[in-house]
Chain A
Amino acid sequence: MNAARSRGTWLGLIAIVVTTVVFLVPFAFIVLTASKSQQEASLLQFTLPTQWQFFENLAAVVETRDGIILRAFLNSTILTVASVAIMVVLAAMVGYVLQRRQSRWNPVVNLLVLAGLIIPPAVVPTIFLLQSLGLFKTMPGLIAVHVAFGLSFCILLFRAFVAGIPRELDEAALLDGASPLRLFFSVIFPLLRSVIVTVIVVQAVTVFNDFTYALYFLPGEENATVQLTLYNFQSQGLNQWNLLFMDVLLITVPPLIMYIFFNRQIVAGMTSGAVKG
């Protein structure tokens, strides 16, 4: 037992060193480069800055092109909040009925949900369609696209969770004269709280980090999301590595905050299905 424990300690120490090098050095590199002067950052070295310019760089990034990054953060926030809110309510409704009611629609809905997880979205036809609706290159268009592409994952989580809510509850509410709508929104929906938190956190990170859909459906420089701003910044190939990495750092902070507060929900959401298959 003692031998096993000391072996565990040694392995743990080695693992800490290895993971620190492999996983933390890149993040340290981001922070260090973001704190350097332009000249020093262009050497791309993994060293401490000779003089820390963290806040100067932060101010410089924020002021770039009249605060384009602030605009992008606002856009990304609106995008994330709106699409996740819509997704949660609509997917909860589907997951609930799908679990509770056996009808001839079930196989169809189940198939569509799986298709949504597997099939890559057809890009050009979607753009064409958004264009004809007047939603191409608009925030509502991108929000709708995220809702459509994210529903499947949410429905699966909700369906699995609703299965654990006793049906007796529904019956009691119905006996008390609750309408179907009231039954769902006042009785069931509040009980979904823990899975709702999971869905919100996982999807918020996904939508916030999304680059591909923003590139296709909300292209451009002015009205962009944070991921696009970083990409545009990178594409310009300016030699301002300190500012580029300040941008990377800024974009990394929101998911980090989410992870610190919602560690458990994120892990639960992303690993769901591992046990059940």
Chain B
Amino acid sequence: MSVATQALSEPTKPKPGSPQRRGGRRAMKSPYPTWFYLPAGLFYILLFIIPTGASFYFALTRWTLFDIEFIGLDNFAQFFREPALLQGFTNTFIYAFLTSGLKVVIGLLLGVFLTSQILARGYLRSVIFFPVLVSTIGVGVTFEVLLDPFDGLVNQSLAALGITGPGWLTDPAWALFSVAMVDVWKGVGLATLIYIAGIVAIPADYFEAARVDGASSWNNFWHIILPLARPATVTVVILSLIGGLRSFDLIWAMTRGGPGFTSDVIASVIYKQYQAGFYGLSTAGNVVLFLVIAAIVVPLSFWLNRKGTEA
């Protein structure tokens, strides 16, 4: 048990008296009291575990302000029957895979770029990262204006190039896509930084050896950076998938799920049903979201992590 910690601390000579001391301590009460878990556990169990557990029951009820009635799986049936709700379900996947895919690709490219010898590296890193820290509502408000179909800066600039831009947030075909793009704009800085940390951690010997062998920078990327930055890829994929599947605030700030239901996701359906007083249906949405995330993220992280240790 102490092997791991000793490996991390600097190697010390075993003191003559230490085995006995350790044996003696074992017999005493542990100096690491289990009750240290209690205060955190209290918050966590009361406000997280119990509501989550209860949601599996409430999802099976018709629950309004006034009464509560057990109706079995009706809420789930309704969730998958009503086109408006079903659209939220499919949109969740589109949104999550689109944003997470783009964050991986752009983040990796920017990460490679920002670890190479270029001008103003620090400035570029800061500028790309800063949106991560800005309030989502603030970003939503700003881009709602920038993406205005007539007066917005984006379409005005496109018009100057002779292109008629679409109604980014008002055209049903574009709304979800536009919000996803803003999500990538806001989140790609984090993916980039994770990749930078991963790439910097690659031992320089690899690049040295590759240089001796006369490898091109493409070879470097394909055979050294990509495989060895794998932990970074795993982190980016998992983090952005979880974030994307749960995404609510940006969508709500920019489109409120509209026009119609075209940019609704599960999280915004949950809020709409809650606002409308359909508590049971809202909770069923929560359970659906839970199951979707668990069904995607848990197997994926097992698979990604196992492949990582095999390599």
| Residue pair B274, A93 in contact (C-beta under 8 Å) | no
| Residue pair A234, B253 in contact (C-beta under 8 Å) | yes
| Residue pair B145, A241 in contact (C-beta under 8 Å) | yes
- With A126-B51, A129-B50, A271-B194 known as contacts, the answer to whether A16 contacts B119 (CB < 8 A) is yes
CB closest chain-A residue, reference B132: A270
Q: Which residues of A contact B151 (CB under 8 A)?
A: 43-45
| Residue pair A230, B135 in contact (C-beta under 8 Å) | yes
| Residue pair A211, B136 in contact (C-beta under 8 Å) | yes
> Residue-by-residue, is B104-143 near A (CB-CB < 8 Å gives 1, otherwise 0)?
0000000001001111110110111111111111110111
Q: Which residues of B contact A16 (CB under 8 A)?
A: 119-120, 123-124
Number of interface residues, chain B, beta carbon within 8 A? 104
> Residue-by-residue, is A244-276 near B (CB-CB < 8 Å gives 1, otherwise 0)?
110010011001101100010011001101111
Q: Is B81 an interface residue (CB 8 A)?
A: no
CB closest chain-A residue, reference B201: A275
Q: What is the distance, in angstroms, from B249's C-beta to the closest C-beta of chain A? A: 4
| Residue pair A44, B145 in contact (C-beta under 8 Å) | yes
Q: Is B176 an interface residue (CB 8 A)?
A: no
Q: Is A199 an interface residue (CB 8 A)?
A: no
| Residue pair A148, B44 in contact (C-beta under 8 Å) | yes
| Residue pair B293, A118 in contact (C-beta under 8 Å) | yes
Interface residues of B in 176-229 (CB under 8 A from A): 185, 190, 193-198, 201
Q: What is the distance, in angstroms, from A144's C-beta to the closest C-beta of chain B? A: 6
Q: Is B308 an interface residue (CB 8 A)?
A: yes
| Residue pair A267, B193 in contact (C-beta under 8 Å) | yes
Q: Which residues of B contact A248 (CB under 8 A)?
A: 135, 138, 141-142
- Please measure, in the bound complex, the distance between the C-alpha atom of A165 and the C-alpha atom of B41, giving whole angstroms: 24
> Residue-by-residue, is A72-110 near B (CB-CB < 8 Å gives 1, otherwise 0)?
000000000000001000110110111011110100010
> Residue-by-residue, is A112-154 near B (CB-CB < 8 Å gives 1, otherwise 0)?
1000111111111110111000000000000011011101000
CB closest chain-B residue, reference A166: B9
**Most chain A beta-carbon neighbours within 10 Å: one of B21, B30, B134:** B134
Q: Which residues of A contact B143 (CB under 8 A)?
A: 26
A3-11, A52-60, A63-71 - interface stretch: A3-11
Q: Is B162 an interface residue (CB 8 A)?
A: no
Q: Is B66 an interface residue (CB 8 A)?
A: no
| Residue pair A121, B138 in contact (C-beta under 8 Å) | no
Q: Which residues of B contact A252 (CB under 8 A)?
A: 134-135, 138
- With A8-B117, A16-B123, A23-B130 known as contacts, the answer to whether A120 contacts B138 (CB < 8 A) is no
- Please measure, in the bound complex, the distance between the C-alpha atom of A175 and the C-alpha atom of B230, giving whole angstroms: 44
Q: What is the distance, in angstroms, from B150's C-beta to the closest C-beta of chain A? A: 9
| Residue pair A90, B5 in contact (C-beta under 8 Å) | no
- Please measure, in the bound complex, the distance between the C-alpha atom of A183 and the C-alpha atom of B146, giving whole angstroms: 55
| Residue pair A255, B5 in contact (C-beta under 8 Å) | no
Partner of A22, one of B51, B185, B248: B185
**Most chain B beta-carbon neighbours within 10 Å: one of A86, A93, A120:** A120
- Please measure, in the bound complex, the distance between the C-alpha atom of A97 and the C-alpha atom of B37, giving whole angstroms: 8
Q: What is the distance, in angstroms, from B133's C-beta to the closest C-beta of chain A? A: 4
B82-90, B93-101, B281-289 - interface stretch: B281-289
Q: Is A155 an interface residue (CB 8 A)?
A: yes
- With A8-B116, A29-B153, A94-B37 known as contacts, the answer to whether A116 contacts B44 (CB < 8 A) is yes
- With A231-B137, A273-B235 known as contacts, the answer to whether A20 contacts B127 (CB < 8 A) is yes
| Contact sample, A vs B, 21 pairs, CB 8 Å cutoff | A4-B117, A16-B124, A23-B131, A44-B148, A44-B151, A45-B151, A93-B37, A94-B36, A96-B32, A101-B34, A112-B49, A123-B271, A124-B58, A129-B47, A144-B43, A148-B47, A171-B21, A183-B31, A205-B133, A231-B253, A270-B193
